[in-house]
């Protein structure tokens, strides 16, 4: 599958395992049946995430992940998208759940990719399905996450 994934670390203060983030994205996108994809993954801090959240969603706070579907063609089975994850948010949540921040970032990339391919977490039923998908992809990396909800 022609898949272009670019990972940009705007924070540059944490060691990011780019290959692992790309692998996770590739797994989700391939399982969705995509034949081609261009995906950008940006790792930012809370300040930048707060700005983006305010600009695009009208929320006045930082969040863990934002995903933007920039284009898709179901007939061509192609997708273009962007995922933005906060390393600051990941560090806080990782401490809370007792696992490395890198694993939390991996979860955010999986979550963002799932949104891009059509999953949502707006209702209890769809949220449960999304959590199950996240758990399945995390298991491929020998990880298990305890979700609050």
Residue 73, domain CATH:
3.40.390.30
Give the pLDDT band of residue 8 (cuts 50, 70, 90). confident
Residue 44: is its pLDDT beyond 60? yes
3 state SS of 148: coil
Residue 93: is its pLDDT beyond 70? yes
Long-range contacts of residues 117-121, Cβ cutoff 8 Å, at least 24 apart = 117/28, 117/29, 117/32, 117/34, 117/79, 118/32
d(CA 31, CA 33): 5
What domain range is 23 assigned to? 3-139
* 135 in any annotated domain: yes
111 vs 15, residue with greater confidence = 111
* 144 in any annotated domain: no
* 149 in any annotated domain: no
* 146 in any annotated domain: no
Residue 6: is its pLDDT beyond 80? no
Mean pLDDT of 17-42: 92
Q: Total structural domains in the chain? A: 1
Give the pLDDT band of residue 5 (cuts 50, 70, 90). confident
* 148 in any annotated domain: no
Nearest partner of 116 among 80, 69, 71, judged by Cα: 69
* 20 in any annotated domain: yes
5 vs 29, residue with greater confidence = 29
* 78 in any annotated domain: yes
Residue 13: is its pLDDT beyond 60? no
d(CA 91, CA 79): 30
d(CA 98, CA 32): 31
| % of the chain at pLDDT higher than 90 | 70
Mean pLDDT of 142-147: 82
């Amino acid at each position: 599958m022609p898949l272009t994934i670019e990972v940009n670390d705007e924070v540059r203060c944490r060691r990011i395992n780019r290959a692992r983030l790309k692998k996770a994205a590739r797994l989700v996108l391939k399982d969705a049946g995509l034949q081609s994809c261009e995906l950008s993954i940006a790792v930012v801090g809370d300040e930048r995430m707060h700005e983006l959240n305010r600009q695009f969603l009208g929320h006045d706070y930082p969040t863990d992940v934002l995903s933007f579907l920039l284009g898709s063609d179901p007939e061509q089975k192609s997708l273009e998208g962007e995922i933005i994850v906060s390393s600051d948010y990941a560090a806080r949540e990782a401490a809370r759940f007792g696992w490395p921040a890198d694993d939390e970032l991996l979860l955010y990339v999986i979550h963002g990719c799932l949104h891009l391919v059509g999953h949502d977490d707006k209702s209890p039923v769809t949220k449960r399905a999304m959590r199950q998908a996240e758990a399945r992809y995390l298991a491929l990396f020998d990880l298990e996450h305890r979700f609050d909800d």
